[in-house]
Amino acid sequence: MPPVNRQYPVRAASSESKYSVMEFVREFPDDESCLQWLWRTRYAEDGMRAECPKCERRRPFHRVSARPAWDCDYCGHHLHPTAGTIFEKSSTSLQLWFYAMFLISQTRCGISAKQLERELGVTYKTAWRMLNLIRNQLMDDQEGEPLSGDVEVDETYHGGKPRAKALRDRTGNLDKTKRAVVFGMVERGGRVRATHLPNAGGVTIKRQIGEHILPESMIFTDEWPTYRGLDKTYIGHRRIRHKDRVYVQGDVHTQTIEGFFGLMKNGIRGTYHAVSHKWLQGYLNEYAWRYNRRYDPQSMFHSLALRAAL
Ligand SMILES: [Zn+2]
């Protein structure tokens, strides 16, 4: 066995990790390394030359010592690597921002603002703001290519449990309008979209399906009447009759999307306890984002950081 260098921990090949904390610390030991990374990723691949908007051509740039910026050697134009990113107007250290992205991408079920506050040593308000910006701006997958292939579609309801009485109408039936509608679509073996909808009306639901699923797809749903008529727009529509206690009939089922909903609900319950309707979409983004990258060879941290650099 070769001697092990204890001063240089290496990630075990058999580890599930794609990027360990030691690798993070080596890549981003300080604020300057984070700024350099943004500079190279956003403007100057070689760290030296970038497109100068004033000269309208590639020019050598030099680091300005007093500010987090680089200046054009020819015209003196400043380029700020944090301009237009979520880090731009923040007084929080860049390294703490990067470490927050690292922590969020490392967990399976998410991290609470309270824990982020403890890990980073920032105020609760700052931790909460960072978490929200990362969730809402970096983890939003809604704009990607529409889903296709075999796509399961289902809806679920979030919240309202503590005030169950208030959710019932005079006849004692559950008034679903008072709970948040979470609408989910998932490609079997592929990507998921989860959206907080204002209501579960037919028009709203069908617009979502039309926006996010290509017509050359096979749709799987339950027998809810709202889903009627999808066979006219899609190559096929198979429905499972949950009312008759049938859950799987050959390949006709909605187990994949129900599995995602289960994961999300357990995660929210375990990590965040209660989520108000106002912030629900951010949490949905987070769970969908993680699910969509479960097979990526790239570390979740780098995929978050690259999104931040867009
Ligand atoms: Zn210039």
**Contact (CB, 8 A) for 272 and 110:** yes
**Could you tell me the distance, in angstroms and rounded to a whole number, from the CA of residue 100 to the centre of ligand 1?**
34
- Local confidence band at 1 (pLDDT 50, 70, 90 cut-offs): low
**Could you tell me the distance, in angstroms and rounded to a whole number, from the CA of residue 144 to the centre of ligand 1?**
35
**Could you tell me the distance, in angstroms and rounded to a whole number, from the CA of residue 43 to the centre of ligand 1?**
13
What is the model's pTM? 0.85
First-to-final CA distance of the chain: 44
**Could you tell me the distance, in angstroms and rounded to a whole number, from the CA of residue 69 to the centre of ligand 1?**
14
- pLDDT digit string (tens) for 105-123? 988 878 899 999 999 999 9
High-pLDDT (> 70) share of the chain, %: 93
Where does 176-293 show beta strands of DSSP type E? 180-187, 192-197, 218-222, 236-240, 248-249, 252-253
The rounded distance, in Å, linking the Cα atoms of 6 and 31 is 26
**Could you tell me the distance, in angstroms and rounded to a whole number, from the CA of residue 60 to the centre of ligand 1?**
8
**Could you tell me the distance, in angstroms and rounded to a whole number, from the CA of residue 62 to the centre of ligand 1?**
11
Q: Which one-letter amino acid corresponds to residue 193? A: R
- Label the pairing between strands 69-72 and 57-64: antiparallel
The pair of structure tokens assigned to 148 is 């296709």
- pLDDT digit string (tens) for 163-177? 445 555 555 555 555
**Could you tell me the distance, in angstroms and rounded to a whole number, from the CA of residue 85 to the centre of ligand 1?**
22
Q: Which residues surround ligand 1, an ion (CB under 5 A)?
A: 52, 54-55, 59, 72, 74-75, 77
- pLDDT digit string (tens) for 214-268? 999 999 999 888 999 999 999 999 998 877 777 777 888 899 999 999 988 888 8
Rounded to the nearest 10°, the torsion over CA 24, 29, 30, 36 is -70
The pair of structure tokens assigned to 43 is 């403007």
What is the per-residue pLDDT for 240? 87
What is the per-residue pLDDT for 194? 95
- Local confidence band at 160 (pLDDT 50, 70, 90 cut-offs): low
Q: Which fold has domain 150-292?
A: Nucleotidyltransferase; domain 5 (3.30.420)
The rounded distance, in Å, linking the Cα atoms of 183 and 284 is 10
The rounded distance, in Å, linking the Cα atoms of 81 and 310 is 11
Sequence ranges of the domains in the chain: 21-141+300-308, 150-292
The rounded distance, in Å, linking the Cα atoms of 38 and 305 is 9
